[in-house]
Amino acid sequence: MVVKEFGGKDIVIRIDHDKCTGCGECVKNCPADVYELVDEKSVAKRVEDCVECCICVSVCPVNAIEHSSC
């Protein structure tokens, strides 16, 4: 299992790259532009900008994202 962990300002975001399909829903729906697609996988590039709304978790169709605030 390949799980990438990203942290900042007491927030931890884990993305399971085995599950991630690169659909981009997290990128499209995040109001703080935290996510980017890199090599067709989601990456939390700007965790420090996260507003803890948890939209990323709810829109991921394969449940690849875990967020410490959700």
| CATH class of segment(s) 3-67 | alpha beta
> How far apart (Å, rounded) are the C-alpha atoms in residues 14 and 16?
7
How would you write the pLDDT of the chain (70 residues) with one tens digit per residue? Answer: 577 777 877 899 999 999 999 999 999 999 999 999 999 999 999 999 999 999 999 999 999 999 999 9
Please tell me whether the overall predicted TM-score, pTM, comes out greater than 0.85 for this model.
Answer: yes
E-assigned strands of the chain?
Answer: 3-8, 11-16, 35-38, 41-44, 65-67
Listed by start position, the domains of the chain span 3-67
